[in-house]
Structure 1
Amino acid sequence: MEDPLVLGRIIGEVLDPFTSSVTLRVVYKNNSDVINSCEFKPSQIVNKPTVHVGGDDLRVLYTLIMVNPDAPSPSHPCLKEYLHWLVTNIPATTTATFGHEIVEYESPRPTTGIHRIVFVLFRQLGRQIVHAPRWRHKFNTRDFAEVYNLGLPVAAVYFNCQRESGWGGRRA
């Protein structure tokens, strides 16, 4: 069975091939888990999700990145990757709320086409000071990982999102 991250082109367009080694559970309100290639409507993802990071050692820290590689539209993704959320220094066995939010959560609101929204988890080498990027558009997960010496991801999951009838919004 082929990896859903490969089928969804997350591996290749956003991430290099990696082996998942940590549990990453992303849950939106109403106990809706993010499962690779599932679909959420913008109205379901207005509030930031609860993100559970696995592991068994609180001394191990992680960085969580949420991006949209299809902004502003899948046919013309000139703003990719659009950064929706960045949290660092998340201890293992906790939720992302225990980390340091570098870029606050911004809910995806696609206006055209089906967008892939990707959560990526990296293991840090230790506590880090990370500077917020100047803008959310044209973020690059690979470059960010290289600058902060994060290596390959340890987990990732994505969902699909598209505009729903009557739902306004200008962001990707």
Structure 2
Amino acid sequence: MQFITLLALVASATAAALPDGSLEQRATTYSAAGASTLAAAKAAFTSAKIVPDLIPSFNPDVAVMANFNGKQVTLGNTFNTLETAMEPSISFTAEPSFDPSTTKYTIFLVDPDAPGPAAPILKDFLHVIISNAQPTCITTQNRTMVAPYQPLTPFSVAAHRYVFLVYRQPPNYTPPVDIHYAPGVRNNFDLNAYVAEAGLMGPVGGNYLLEGLAQDVCLVTPNCTQNGIGYPTS
């Protein structure tokens, strides 16, 4: 009994010696992405040629999760336009060596294949920008919708790569003014120029999905595969 009392006294003294919030901070576990998860994301971005078609390099430190009405985005799985009509839910893990309670990030969703992969003359088509995002472990974060979600609208049978990217913001960050925030002028958004102007760092993480008109045709075509191959000939 005396030993338990002594432990209680030590704990109380330790808590009193710590700065405000330090005990709570130490008691909270911030989960980071595993090495295999990050390696898989890097390999997928390279295989899909997102590097260098959209970004010059990709060495992720966080895992990015996104879902449309519960359907998860998993590094290149396919969706149809009905599934992506509503705004996705986007989250990401904590970045090592950065305090998730004070570090904020900007999230992009862009299409480097608009209006079609064969001739992407409207790249990068902007679908969303969210600033002041924090890792999923921060439950009280206040995100800012800079460019509201515009549903995915591929104009080609071939699938587009719709890419989620997360960048770390500098302190006291203010998003640059950009005409592409308006819903009607989202084409030809220059992602890399925006990142440079804003002083964003990264990308620290990313994910992507595939969607084209083939996926919509497959909704009503028997025996059609989800990549648009295998239409019935009779």
TM bucket normalised to smaller? 0.7 to 0.9
1:7-22 aligned within 5 A:
7-22=47-62
Q: Distance in 2 between matches of 1:118 and 1:131?
A: 21
Structure 1 segments (4+ residues) deviating >4 Å: none
Bigger proportion of residues as strand:
1
* Aligned counterpart for 2:127 among listed residues 62, 71, 84: 84
Q: Whose relative contact order is higher, 1 or 2, with alpha carbons under 8 Å and at least 6 apart? A: 1
> What amino acid is aligned across from residue 171 of structure 2 in structure 1?
G
Is residue 153 of structure 1 aligned with residue 203 of structure 2?
A: yes
1:1-172 aligned within 5 A:
3-29=43-69, 31-55=70-94, 57-93=100-136, 94=138, 98-112=142-156, 113-135=158-180, 136-163=186-213, 164-165=216-217
Query: 1:54, CA displacement in angstroms?
Result: 1.8
Residue pair 1:102, 1:132 contacting (<8 A) in 2 also: no
> What amino acid is aligned across from residue 143 of structure 2 in structure 1?
G
Distance 1:129 1:75, change over 3 A: same
Q: Distance in 2 between matches of 1:18 and 1:165?
A: 33
- Per-residue CA distance 1:27-75 (angstroms, 9 max, x = gap): 111x211111111111101111111122162211000011001111111
Q: Which moved more, 1:66-75 or 1:158-167?
A: 158-167
Partner of 2:132, secondary structure, is strand
Of structures 1 and 2, the larger Rg is shown by 2
- Per-residue CA distance 1:83-121 (angstroms, 9 max, x = gap): 0000111123358x8311110001111121211100000
Q: Which moved more, 1:157-166 or 1:4-13?
A: 157-166
Query: 1:134, CA displacement in angstroms?
Result: 1.0
Q: Give the count of matched residue pairs.
A: 165
- Per-residue CA distance 1:104-152 (angstroms, 9 max, x = gap): 0011111212111000000112242114521311112211111111132
Query: 1:166, CA displacement in angstroms?
Result: 9.4
Distance 1:162 1:89, change over 3 A: same
Q: TM-score, normalised by structure 1?
A: 0.88
> What amino acid is aligned across from residue 178 of structure 2 in structure 1?
P
Residue pair 1:61, 1:127 contacting (<8 A) in 2 also: no
Unpaired runs of 5+ residues, structure 2, are 1-39, 181-185, 220-234
